[in-house]
């Protein structure tokens, strides 16, 4: 039996560039960087003082069912969902007993929320006194204070991010919900899981994507301690430079992107507009180290090869790769090796660009945002560039579409996402071909 | 491939009673292992729970344990790796990292972890030090950004890395030599069983031949105790710990914290046969659902979705309600959730309820968050193996929908071939699993 075909019928986003897919893509085509000095707090004195923040007011719901949309995470994800469902034509309400609910699902990738620990600050003053005090900080007293302030639970809810997917389920009228995280691979992982839900017949329509709001007082220095972030504070737009010899780390970004994936027959039955098709997915794990990619790119390459196999395609069939391309020394070199190993003689001729050069690393929302970029690339026939390509790195010698967008008839695009912890996912997106069996 | 071609070849757990065997012994004795908090838990509500003694050296002796770095783990990761190691040993995978590359490439790992949470003091100290001194003298908490660096004193990158939600799986993938799919399910207390279901689906679509899957939930950790207390979901302070965890009982006062990590090894029948592994049971169905609670953690607002997925699993398995030999119920001990589960069981089993072997482990182990439901699956596998339905611990006055249920005070001998296992959660998601003994 032929497996069910899965198509993209809705896209929506809240990214540092814009909360509109077309405007986001237009700015990427122009090579506009969204990286700048952090505004959510004063980062003076921190190693990394720059990020790709959402610097505009996000228009979205303030309450969804029982869930308040007050945190940055909830604001972003529900606003992105609103736009995605509108784009898909699925923003109408379903009756509570509508059997359609049983055919809908939400699968979200999310991670650490915005400011959980900071929100516990007021309690610490009452318990421990002046922050300059040398007195021993009494843990038991803190616990008792928290226990006597039940509202403290609400302060840490942001940490858990466990209301985001349920809120989307309420908006979408879905009877199934899951939340998952595989670090920086999460967004693509969400696509893969959603595709499999549809292929196995467990759902006809899945709202899937990711959200991440890590530009916080604690996470920024924390990632800097891992030597993961760029410290090019004096020139923010030039800081994210994947594959360039002078790259020195990634740029933290924030945002949320979502797509609606549908069984092709179900989409056609309701007359949905089809943006593109998921042709194949591949996953592999390094099982190597927590922070570093396996240096030969074994896991990355395996994910790409598995995606090609799943799609029934060969290396010559891929017209564009949206790279994971974080701008770290290790990742970009390993990804380059992995592409060469997977695509062989074709590697040098396949354009491969990194959107992270412009909107930084959206972590749990990265893979899905870049899948949207791939889909727009196919729709508009323009490959977005990798900006800040100035000095060639001998270890990174592929065609990274340097600095300027390129017109190209892209019918098949691969999106790569590789996570801290060694989880690697590749997704292949194609133009929708109605004549294909 | 159908789910029935997927078999379970191993299981393991880390609980407040000890490993899965100690847990089984306590359950068959009808003995709760909930006790007053013993270690470094003064002031932590509710003052009792089923805690695991986090002895990092214990991980070293488990399969794949030598490569682990316990110092970079949270309690979530520790329990996950403990359970994964126990499950690997049970499945006869003693040196997973030494397996041929083609075997590791086809081995996946999915874990459910409600969240990942730091030690309270270290990270809260950071927020304290960040406070503006002048404002603090007036009793106001205002962050002075110039003091962020001072707050970071004593931290390393690993203090933040280990909080990432995928870290339990990242550590365990290295431990298990798993180079196939890896993922961490989050956000709801039912995720441990959802992870097992997702692993079944991933085998079905050909992503792997073998999976380690399960859940981790340090319910008795300070982070989760704090959160659950703040949400007013914990059981009362000052009551007898041994009788506090009361699943489906009218006198239950709330969740009783328990530390649980539990995992199973799943594989294709062909893979199990090829390596000479014994199949304990085959998977014959699973399904999941969500219904928004009336408030963010307000209990099960509608039993309908649970009824639907119970019937879905019966249908997938080709069973009638009377064919079921054993139900591993979730019974988390929170009445607002248990009443929905009870109503669903009554609706699905009807007149057969009086004959139903209803087992629920919460009275023994407390509520183990992301590990809770996987421990229920482990319990079902143990019952299939030893042919005993364990007693219902601390279930004196069943909730009204279960008044007709069969009461089990001592272990009952029974040939258990067909079992359903249920997961519920305060957040509104639920999972049902159907397994059949080989």
Structure confidence by residue, pLDDT tens digits, B353-362: 999 999 999 9
CA distance linking residue A214 with residue A258, whole number of Å: 18
- How close, in Å, is residue A189 to chain B by CA atoms? 8
For β-strands B107-113 and B182-186, DSSP reports them as parallel
CA distance linking residue A96 with residue A274, whole number of Å: 27
Neighbouring-strand partners of residue B326: B419
Question: DSSP letter string over B241-298?
Answer: GGGT--TTBTT--SB-BBEEEEEEEEEEHHHHHHTTPPP-EEEEEEEEEE---SSTT-
Q: In which residue are the tokens 């408030």 written?
A: B295
Give the relative orientation of helices A164-172 and A72-88 as an angle to the nearest 10 degrees.
30
Cβ(B269)–Cβ(B8) under 8 Å?
Answer: no
What lies within 8 Å, CB to CB, of B85 at 6+ separation is B12, B59, B62, B63, B64, B65, B175
Chain A neighbors of B196, CB-CB under 8 A: none
Taking residue A281's Cβ as centre, other Cβ atoms within 10 Å add up to 27
* Claim to verify: residue A109 and residue A144 sit in the same structural domain: no
A315 by Cβ neighbours in 10 Å (0-12 / 13-18 / 19+) ranks as middle
Structure tokens at B234: 């914990």
CA distance linking residue B215 with residue B110, whole number of Å: 8
Q: In which residue are the tokens 């649980």 written?
A: B260
Chain B neighbors of A193, CB-CB under 8 A: 183, 198
Tell me which residue of B390, B434, B433 sits closest to B409, measured CA to CA: B390
Which residues of A, range 396-425, sit inside 8 Å of B by Cβ? 419-423
Residue A151 has pLDDT above 70, yes or no: no
Residue A36 has pLDDT above 90, yes or no: yes
Cβ(A176)–Cβ(A105) under 8 Å?
Answer: yes
| Percentage of residues of chain A with pLDDT beyond 70 | 95
Interchain CB contact of A225 with B (< 8 Å): yes
Most B CBs within 10 A among A208, A290, A292, A301, hence the mutation to make, goes to A290
For β-strands A104-110 and A205-212, DSSP reports them as parallel
Of the pLDDT bands very low, low, confident and very high (cuts 50, 70, 90), residue A154 is low
Cβ(B21)–Cβ(B388) under 8 Å?
Answer: no
Structure tokens at A108: 């979200």
* Claim to verify: residue A249 and residue A341 sit in the same structural domain: yes
pLDDT of residue A155: 61
CA distance linking residue A314 with residue A427, whole number of Å: 14
Determine the residue of chain B that is closest to A3 in CA distance.
B205
CB contact under 8 A, A44 and B43: no
Taking residue A2's Cβ as centre, other Cβ atoms within 10 Å add up to 5
* Claim to verify: residue A289 and residue A314 sit in the same structural domain: yes
pLDDT of residue A236: 98
CB contact under 8 A, B187 and A149: no
Chain B neighbors of A183, CB-CB under 8 A: 164, 166, 170
Bond before B46 cis per omega within 30 degrees: yes
B/e letters for B94-119, b = 16+ CB within 10 Å, e = fewer, are: eebeebeeebbbbbbbbbbbbbbbbe
Domain count for chain A, please give it: 2
Residue A115 has pLDDT above 60, yes or no: no
Interchain CB contact of B312 with A (< 8 Å): no
Tell me which residue of B298, B408, B303 sits closest to B346, measured CA to CA: B303
Most A CBs within 10 A among B111, B211, B289, B290, hence the mutation to make, goes to B290
Q: In which residue are the tokens 């083609």 written?
A: B102
DSSP A393: B
CA distance linking residue B349 with residue A105, whole number of Å: 27
* Claim to verify: residue A128 and residue A223 sit in the same structural domain: no
Interchain CB contact of B292 with A (< 8 Å): yes
Q: In which residue are the tokens 């999976």 written?
A: B211
Taking residue B345's Cβ as centre, other Cβ atoms within 10 Å add up to 27
CB contact under 8 A, A41 and B143: yes
* Claim to verify: residue A151 and residue A182 sit in the same structural domain: no
What lies within 8 Å, CB to CB, of A57 at 6+ separation is none
CB contact under 8 A, A162 and B188: yes
User: Radius of gyration (Cα) for chain A, nearest Å?
Assistant: 21
Cβ(A370)–Cβ(A353) under 8 Å?
Answer: no
Interchain CB contact of A166 with B (< 8 Å): yes
* Dihedral sign computed on CA atoms, order B360, B365, B370, B375: negative
Structure tokens at B340: 């929905």
| Percentage of residues of chain A with pLDDT beyond 90 | 77
CB contact under 8 A, B137 and A130: yes
Structure tokens at A373: 């970029």
* Claim to verify: residue A155 and residue A169 sit in the same structural domain: no
CA distance linking residue A273 with residue A259, whole number of Å: 13
φ/ψ (deg, to 5) at B109: -145, 125
Chain B neighbors of A216, CB-CB under 8 A: none
Nearest to B185 among A154, A180, A285 (CB): A180
Q: How confident is the model over A346-380, as pLDDT tens digits? A: 999 999 999 999 999 999 999 999 999 999 999 99
What lies within 8 Å, CB to CB, of A95 at 6+ separation is none
Tell me which residue of A92, A11, A86, A2 sits closest to A274, measured CA to CA: A11
Domain with CATH 3.40.47.10 in chain B: 3-117+162-437
Most A CBs within 10 A among B47, B48, B160, hence the mutation to make, goes to B160
Chain B neighbors of A161, CB-CB under 8 A: 115, 186-187
Tell me which residue of B323, B315, B321 sits closest to B347, measured CA to CA: B321
Mean pLDDT of chain B: 93
* Claim to verify: residue A86 and residue A135 sit in the same structural domain: no
* Claim to verify: residue A150 and residue A197 sit in the same structural domain: no
Higher-confidence position of A103 and B69: A103
Chain B neighbors of A278, CB-CB under 8 A: none
Interchain CB contact of A219 with B (< 8 Å): yes
Of the pLDDT bands very low, low, confident and very high (cuts 50, 70, 90), residue A119 is confident
Q: What secondary structure, in 3-state letters, does B42-87 show?
A: CCCCCCEEECCCCCCHHHHCCCCHHHCCHHHCCHHHHHHHHHHHHH
CA distance linking residue A16 with residue A33, whole number of Å: 9
- How close, in Å, is residue A334 to chain B by CA atoms? 17
**Helix H or strand E encompassing A194:** helix A186-199
Domain that includes residue A127, residue range? 116-160
Give the relative orientation of helices A366-380 and A186-199 as an angle to the nearest 10 degrees.
70
Of the pLDDT bands very low, low, confident and very high (cuts 50, 70, 90), residue A116 is low
What lies within 8 Å, CB to CB, of B274 at 6+ separation is none
ipTM of predicted assembly, 2 dp: 0.95
CB contact under 8 A, A150 and B230: yes
Structure tokens at B11: 């299981």
CA distance linking residue A113 with residue A98, whole number of Å: 33
pLDDT of residue B72: 86
Range list of β-strands (E), B190-252: 210-218
CB contact under 8 A, B44 and A143: yes
Neighbouring-strand partners of residue A429: A278, A413
Catalytic residue list of A: 184, 324, 361
Determine the residue of chain B that is closest to A119 in CA distance.
B127
Interchain CB contact of A286 with B (< 8 Å): yes
Which residues of B, range 148-207, sit inside 8 Å of A by Cβ? 148-149, 152, 155-161, 163-167, 169-171, 173-174, 176-188, 191, 194, 198, 201-202, 204-205, 207
Structure tokens at B241: 């710990």
Q: How confident is the model over A156-173, as pLDDT tens digits? A: 665 666 789 999 999 999
* Claim to verify: residue A47 and residue A155 sit in the same structural domain: no
CA distance linking residue B404 with residue B343, whole number of Å: 12
CATH number at residue A175: 3.40.47.10
Nearest to A131 among B128, B156, B427 (CB): B128
In the predicted model, residues of chain B with pLDDT beneath 70 are 4, 297
Distance of CA A259 to the CA centre of its chain: 11
**Helix H or strand E encompassing B136:** helix B133-137
Cα–Cα distances in angstroms (integers) from residue B360 to residues A406, B26, B204, B270, in the given order: 62, 13, 29, 33
Which residues of B, range 2-61, sit inside 8 Å of A by Cβ? 42-45
Structure tokens at A141: 């007293």
Chain A neighbors of B149, CB-CB under 8 A: 45-46, 221
Which residues of A, range 56-95, sit inside 8 Å of B by Cβ? 65-67
Fold of B3-117+162-437: Peroxisomal Thiolase; Chain A, domain 1 (3.40.47)
CA distance linking residue A340 with residue B371, whole number of Å: 41
* Claim to verify: residue A28 and residue A152 sit in the same structural domain: no
CA atoms within 13 A on the CB side of B303: 17
* Claim to verify: residue A52 and residue A62 sit in the same structural domain: yes
Lowest mean pLDDT among A123-132, A356-365, A388-397: A123-132
Most A CBs within 10 A among B166, B205, B227, hence the mutation to make, goes to B166
Range list of β-strands (E), B357-403: 358-359, 388-389
3-state DSSP assignment of residue B173:
helix
pLDDT of residue A114: 47
Report if residue A205 sits inside a domain: yes
Q: What share of chain A is helix, strand, coil (3-state, %, to 5)?
A: 35, 20, 40
φ/ψ (deg, to 5) at B46: -90, 10
Most A CBs within 10 A among B1, B44, B74, B127, hence the mutation to make, goes to B127
3-state DSSP assignment of residue B94:
coil
Report if residue A1 sits inside a domain: no
Report if residue A436 sits inside a domain: no
Interchain CB contact of A165 with B (< 8 Å): yes
pLDDT of residue A156: 62
């Amino acid at each position: 039996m032929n497996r069910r075909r899965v198509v993209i019928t809705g896209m929506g986003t809240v990214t540092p560039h814009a909360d509109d897919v077309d405007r986001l893509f237009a700015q990427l085509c122009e090579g506009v960087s969204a990286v700048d000095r952090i505004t959510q707090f004063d980062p003076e004195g921190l190693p990394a003082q720059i990020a790709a923040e959402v610097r505009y007011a996000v228009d979205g719901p303030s309450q969804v069912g029982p869930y308040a949309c007050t945190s940055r995470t909830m604001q972003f994800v529900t606003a992105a969902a609103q736009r995605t469902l509108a784009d898909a034509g699925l923003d109408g309400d379903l009756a509570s007993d509508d059997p359609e609910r049983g055919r809908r699902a939400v699968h979200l990738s999310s991670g650490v929320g915005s400011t959980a620990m900071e929100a516990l600050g007021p309690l610490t003053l009452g318990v421990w006194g002046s922050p300059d005090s040398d007195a021993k900080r009494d843990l038991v007293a803190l616990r008792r204070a928290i226990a006597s302030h039940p509202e403290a639970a609400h302060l840490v809810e942001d940490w858990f991010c466990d209301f985001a997917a349920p809120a989307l389920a309420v908006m979408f009228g879905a009877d199934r919900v899951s939340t998952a995280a595989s670090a920086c691979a999460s967004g693509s992982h969400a696509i893969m899981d959603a595709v499999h839900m549809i292929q196995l017949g467990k759902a006809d329509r899945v709202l899937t994507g990711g959200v991440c709001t890590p530009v916080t007082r604690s996470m920024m220095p924390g990632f800097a301690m891992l030597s993961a972030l760029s410290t090019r504070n004096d020139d923010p737009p030039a800081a994210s430079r994947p594959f360039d010899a002078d790259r020195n780390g990634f740029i933290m970004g924030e945002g949320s992107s979502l797509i609606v994936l549908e069984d092709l027959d179900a989409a056609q039955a309701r007359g949905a507009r089809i943006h593109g098709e998921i042709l194949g997915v591949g996953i592999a794990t390094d099982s190597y180290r927590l922070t570093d990619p396996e240096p030969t790119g074994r896991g990355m390459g395996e994910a790409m090869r598995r995606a090609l196999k799943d799609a029934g395609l060969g290396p010559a069939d891929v017209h564009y790769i949206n790279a994971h391309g974080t701008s770290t020394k290790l990742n970009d070199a390993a990804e380059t090796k992995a592409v060469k190993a997977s695509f062989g003689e074709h590697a040098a001729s396949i354009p491969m660009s990194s959107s992270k050069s412009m909107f930084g690393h959206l972590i749990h929302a990265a893979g899905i945002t870049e899948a949207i970029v791939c889909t727009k690339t196919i729709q508009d026939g323009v490959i977005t560039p990798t900006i800040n390509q100035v000095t060639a790195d001998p270890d990174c010698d592929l065609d990274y579409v340097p600095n300027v967008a390129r017109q190209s008839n892209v019918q098949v695009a691969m999106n790569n996402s590789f996570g801290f912890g060694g989880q690697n996912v590749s997704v292949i997106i194609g133009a929708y071909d109605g004549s294909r069996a | 491939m159908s789910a029935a071609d997927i078999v379970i070849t191993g299981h393991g757990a880390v609980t407040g009673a000890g490993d899965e065997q100690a847990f089984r012994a306590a359950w068959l004795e009808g003995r709760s292992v909930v006790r007053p908090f013993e270690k470094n838990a003064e002031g932590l509500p509710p003052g009792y729970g089923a805690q695991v003694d986090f002895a990092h050296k214990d991980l070293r002796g488990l399969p794949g344990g030598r490569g682990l770095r316990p110092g970079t783990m949270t309690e979530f990761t520790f329990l996950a790796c403990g359970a994964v190691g126990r499950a690997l040993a049970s499945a006869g995978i003693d040196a997973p990292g030494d397996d041929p590359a083609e075997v590791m490439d086809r081995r996946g790992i999915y874990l459910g972890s409600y969240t990942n949470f730091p030690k309270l003091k270290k990270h809260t100290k950071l927020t304290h030090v960040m406070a503006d001194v002048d404002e603090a003298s007036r009793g106001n908490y205002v962050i002075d950004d110039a003091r962020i660096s001072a707050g970071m004193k004593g931290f390393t990158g690993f203090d933040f890395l280990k909080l990432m939600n995928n870290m339990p799986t990242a550590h365990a993938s290295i431990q298990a030599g798993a180079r196939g799919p890896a993922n961490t399910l989050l956000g709801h207390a039912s995720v441990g069983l959802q992870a097992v279901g997702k692993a079944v689906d991933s085998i079905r679509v050909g992503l792997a031949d073998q999976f380690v899957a399960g859940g981790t939930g340090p319910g008795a950790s300070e982070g989760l105790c704090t959160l659950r207390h703040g949400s007013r979901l914990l059981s009362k302070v000052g009551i007898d710990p041994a009788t506090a965890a009361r699943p489906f009982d009218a006198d239950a006062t709330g969740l009783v914290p328990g530390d649980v990590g539990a995992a199973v090894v799943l594989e294709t029948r062909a893979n199990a046969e090829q390596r000479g592994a014994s199949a304990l049971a085959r998977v014959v169905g699973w399904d999941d659902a969500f219904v928004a609670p009336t408030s963010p953690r307000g209990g099960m607002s509608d039993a309908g979705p649970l009824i639907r997925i119970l019937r879905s699993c019966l249908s997938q398995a080709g069973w009638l309600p009377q064919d079921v030999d054993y139900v591993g119920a979730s019974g988390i001990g929170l009445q607002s959730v248990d009443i929905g589960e009870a109503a669903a069981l009554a609706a699905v089993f009807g007149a057969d309820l009086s004959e139903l072997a209803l087992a629920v482990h919460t009275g023994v182990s407390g509520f183990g968050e992301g590990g809770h439901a996987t421990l229920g699956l482990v319990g079902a596998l143990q019952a299939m193996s030893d042919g005993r339905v364990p007693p219902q611990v601390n279930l004196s006055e069943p909730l009204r929908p279960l008044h007709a249920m069969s009461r089990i005070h001592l272990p009952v001998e029974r040939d258990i071939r067909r079992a359903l296992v249920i997961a519920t959660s305060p957040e509104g998601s639920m999972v049902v699993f159907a397994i059949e003994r080989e």
